[in-house]
Structure formats: structure tokens, C-alpha cells
């Protein structure tokens, strides 16, 4: 019988060329990094918690500027003048905020992001809690006002220095067709911070005698701020210290840059970015801090009831923000901001009729205003951040935000109350209309520059 079985074919082992091996390893590395990349949802949690704590600190000061500081720190003038003085201190934090950003960038270069964030939030918490320990004017005189101003400046510097790049990373790490949705998540901290601050003051105002409230009750929200900041610090550090987070920041070049070079090469983008969302920033304190001062001085509505309406307004703003994300993903973020600037302009024309329209009109002002605020502010962050070259984006986004707060929101309560007390509520209309006009012009300029760059590319 003939054996038809062929002899075993020898196996030849061919070494993989070095280029092919390197390609395989690079592919495996990329796949591993994609699996380890920080999920947008995790970033969003850190952003919301961090921003809510910061807004809480600022709203506590804003509400106290109306209900507390005129009587405790400025008893030597009438209540209206005392409120205006308090609003001037309120604005000081936004004036020094860009300097805080620059200081924070330098700390980050020398000691790292986690050190900067820890120092900033510690300063923020201590500045806010420190206000709770201050004696009033009758005990310490002008020194009490100086210490209050020092604590407020500490808040502003800390807010600037606490920039962690999370909002930018959230926008860049999210799916392209969901950018509006994830941009909205970064803004949710605002209504949440206001809601907590307003609820605390409403409870204390409604359950304490005026003497007790002005003597010690108002201090509790400031104490609470320190505890909230500790929770926020750990929530944000949980992300910041992870290798995945640092790698993502490096991949997107979200690191401090040379500020002189930034202003020289892309200063125009900072200006356009600051003015692009000005309508929303102008509305921000007009519906949160200013109305409380107007009601206290020129309305018969009970403060406790009005604080309750503002709490409902904050809930409406929080509910409107997801809607803004859905709309922005469908029609575009810039188109959304332009549309809302027009709606805010229409709303501004109704301000005198609503705030002078008794309890019903005042409540409608708050509820409608907060809905517009939620829709517009939900898309106000980093609308033109993509205009920055990658190496300028981290610092550029921070300074753009600082400038928007300074121009649009810092002096809003002071200007609105000061001018409306002298010229009537039409002054608030003019203020909001100017913000809307700036937004529309900035968005048009941004579109023109984009088209010019595309044409010359």
C-alpha cells in the first residue's frame, strides 16, 4: 500500500518588520487610551459640583448685600445708599478675578494643577467663612468695612485661580453632535448654587426675629460655604489627580500659555468671546441680585415670599438649561445665543411694566427672567473657544470668562439700582438692551472673521 501522506510542511517563522510591530503597538496604545479616557459624564459631575460651590459663595454675598450689609456694615447712611456701597464691594471680586487667573496659572506652572486648585478653593472657603466672623461697623468702625472688602477680594482672586480646564475638556471630550448638551451641564452649577443660597436665607429670614437675623443668623450661610467648598474640592481633585485626566489635558494642550503671546496673537478672540455672551451675563444679576434690592426698597411684597418666588425661578432655570442644550445641538450654539439675545431684548422692554406691576408683575419678571437666563446662560460658556489655537485655549478660555463677568455682570446690580432709583426702571431696559446689542455684534464679527479665514485658507 502506497503512503499518500505528504511529509509535514515545515513552518517558517517570519519576523514582523519593526515598522509593523511599532504600528501594532501604537494601535494597541491608542485603543487602551480610548478605553481609559475620562468619560464626559464624569467630567460633568466634577464641573457641576465645583461650579455650584463657587456660585453659592457669590450668591450668599449678593443676597447679604441687600438683606444684611446695609444695616451691619453701613448703618451711617440710609438703606439705599448702604445697598449701593455693598454692591460696590460685590463688584470688586469681578475686578480682581483676572488677576486671580494669572496668579493661578503661575502656581500651576510651578507646583501643578492640584496644588493650585487646593489653594484656590481653600482661599475661597476661608474668605467666605471669614465674613461670618467679622464684627459690624458699630464694633470696629471703618476697619470692619475694610476687612469685608479684603474677604471679598479674596473671593475674587480664588474664583479666578480655581480655573481647572474642566469646562473646556468637557466640550472637547464630548461627541461633536452633543456639544451644546455638555456645554449646558457646565452651567448647571449656577441655578443650583443660587437655589441653596436663597433657600438658606429664606429659612433664616422667615424663622428669626430681625434682631436675631442681623445679629447672628445671617452668618450661617457663610459658615456653610466652607463645608460645601471642602466637598467640592474633593470632587474635583478626584478627577484632577488621575492619570487619565492629565493625559486628556495634555492631548488637548490644555495647559497655561504665555499671556503676552496670547494677547498679542489672539487678543481679538478674547474680546469677541467676552462680548458674545454679554446679553446672558447682563441678565444674570438683573434677575438674581438686583430684584431683591428693588423689592426691598420700592415694593410692598414680603421679602420671604419674594425669596420663595426666586427659588421657583432657580428651578425653572435649571429645567430650561437642558432645553438649551437640545436646541443648540439642533441649530448651533451661536445661532441659539443670537436668538436668545433677541428674546432678552424683548424681555427688557417689559421690565418697567413688570417690576412696577405689583406682586403679579414682579413674580412674572422673576419666573420669565429665570427661564430666559437658563436658556441663554446654558450656552454662554466657551461659545467661541474653538477660535483659539490649541496651545492658547486653556488660558484664553479662562480670561475670556473673566472679562465677560467683569463687563457684563460685575456692576449690574449697582448700575441697575443706582440708575433706576434716580431715572426709573427704564434704566434697566437700556442696560439689558446694550448687552443684547453687544452680543449680536460680537457674534456677527465672529462669523465674519471665520468666513475671512476660510477664504484665505
Rounded CA gap, 398 and 380, in Å?
13
Q: What is the dihedral of CA 173, 402, 52, 183, to 10 degrees?
A: -30
* Structural contact between residues 183 and 43, judged by C-beta atoms closer than 8 angstroms: no
Which one, of 275, 282, 273, 276, lies nearest residue 372 by Cα?
A: 282
From first to last of its 457 residues, the chain has per-residue pLDDT tens of 444 444 444 443 444 444 444 444 444 444 444 445 566 666 777 778 878 888 898 899 999 999 999 999 999 999 999 999 999 999 999 999 999 999 999 999 999 888 898 898 889 888 988 999 999 999 999 999 999 999 999 999 999 998 877 666 666 666 777 777 777 777 888 899 999 999 999 999 999 999 999 999 999 999 888 888 777 777 777 766 665 666 666 666 678 888 899 999 888 888 988 898 899 999 999 999 999 999 999 999 999 999 999 999 999 999 999 898 888 888 888 888 999 999 999 999 999 999 999 999 999 999 999 999 999 988 877 666 767 888 888 888 889 989 999 999 999 999 999 999 999 999 999 999 999 999 999 998 888 877 776 666 5
Rounded CA gap, 154 and 457, in Å?
45
Name the pTM for this structure: 0.86
Residue 326 buriedness (CB in 10 A; 0-12 / 13-18 / 19+): middle
- What cell was used for 376? 441663554
Amino acid at each position: 500500500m502506497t503512503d499518500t501522506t505528504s511529509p509535514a510542511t515545515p513552518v517558517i517563522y517570519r519576523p514582523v518588520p519593526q515598522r509593523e510591530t511599532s504600528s501594532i503597538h501604537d494601535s494597541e496604545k491608542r485603543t487602551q487610551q480610548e478605553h481609559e479616557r475620562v468619560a464626559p459624564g464624569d467630567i460633568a459631575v466634577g464641573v457641576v459640583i465645583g461650579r455650584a460651590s463657587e456660585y453659592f459663595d457669590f450668591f450668599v454675598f449678593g443676597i447679604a448685600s441687600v438683606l444684611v450689609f446695609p444695616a451691619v456694615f453701613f448703618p451711617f447712611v440710609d438703606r439705599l445708599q448702604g445697598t449701593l456701597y455693598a454692591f460696590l464691594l460685590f463688584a470688586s471680586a469681578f475686578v480682581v478675578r483676572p488677576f486671580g487667573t494669572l496668579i493661578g496659572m503661575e502656581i500651576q506652572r510651578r507646583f501643578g494643577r492640584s496644588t493650585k486648585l487646593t489653594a484656590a478653593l481653600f482661599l475661597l472657603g476661608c474668605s467666605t467663612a471669614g465674613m461670618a466672623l467679622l464684627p459690624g461697623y458699630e464694633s470696629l468702625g471703618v476697619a470692619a468695612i475694610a476687612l469685608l472688602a479684603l474677604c471679598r477680594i479674596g473671593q475674587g482672586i480664588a474664583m479666578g485661580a480655581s480655573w481647572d480646564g474642566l469646562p473646556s475638556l468637557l466640550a472637547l471630550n464630548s461627541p461633536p453632535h452633543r456639544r451644546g448638551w455638555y456645554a449646558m451641564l457646565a452651567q448647571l452649577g449656577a441655578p443650583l448654587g443660587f437655589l441653596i443660597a436663597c433657600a438658606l436665607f429664606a429659612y433664616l429670614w422667615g424663622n428669626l426675629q430681625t434682631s436675631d437675623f442681623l445679629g447672628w443668623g445671617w452668618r450661617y450661610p457663610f459658615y456653610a460655604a466652607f463645608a460645601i467648598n471642602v466637598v467640592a474640592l474633593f470632587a474635583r481633585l478626584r478627577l484632577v489627580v488621575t492619570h487619565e485626566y492629565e493625559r486628556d489635558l495634555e492631548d488637548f494642550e490644555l495647559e497655561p500659555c504665555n499671556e503676552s503671546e496670547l494677547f498679542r496673537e489672539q487678543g481679538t478672540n478674547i474680546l469677541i468671546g467676552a462680548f458674545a455672551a454679554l446679553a446672558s451675563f447682563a441678565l444674570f444679576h438683573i434677575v438674581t441680585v438686583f430684584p431683591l434690592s428693588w423689592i426691598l426698597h420700592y415694593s410692598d411684597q414680603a421679602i420671604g415670599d419674594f425669596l420663595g418666588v426666586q427659588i421657583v425661578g432657580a428651578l425653572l432655570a435649571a429645567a430650561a438649561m437642558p432645553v438649551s442644550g437640545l436646541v443648540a445641538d439642533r441649530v448651533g450654539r451661536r445661532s441659539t445665543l443670537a436668538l436668545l439675545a433677541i428674546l432678552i431684548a424683548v424681555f427688557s422692554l417689559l421690565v418697567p411694566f413688570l417690576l412696577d406691576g405689583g406682586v403679579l408683575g414682579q413674580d412674572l419678571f422673576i419666573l420669565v427672567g429665570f427661564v430666559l437666563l437658563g436658556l441663554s446662560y446654558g450656552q454662554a460658556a466657551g461659545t467661541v473657544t474653538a477660535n483659539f489655537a490649541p496651545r492658547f485655549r486653556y488660558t484664553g478660555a479662562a480670561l475670556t470668562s473673566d472679562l465677560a463677568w467683569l463687563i457684563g455682570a460685575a456692576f449690574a446690580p449697582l448700575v441697575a439700582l443706582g440708575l433706576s432709583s434716580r431715572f426709573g426702571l427704564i434704566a434697566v431696559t437700556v442696560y439689558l438692551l446694550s448687552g443684547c446689542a453687544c452680543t449680536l455684534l460680537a457674534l456677527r464679527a465672529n462669523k465674519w472673521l471665520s468666513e475671512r479665514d476660510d477664504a484665505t485658507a
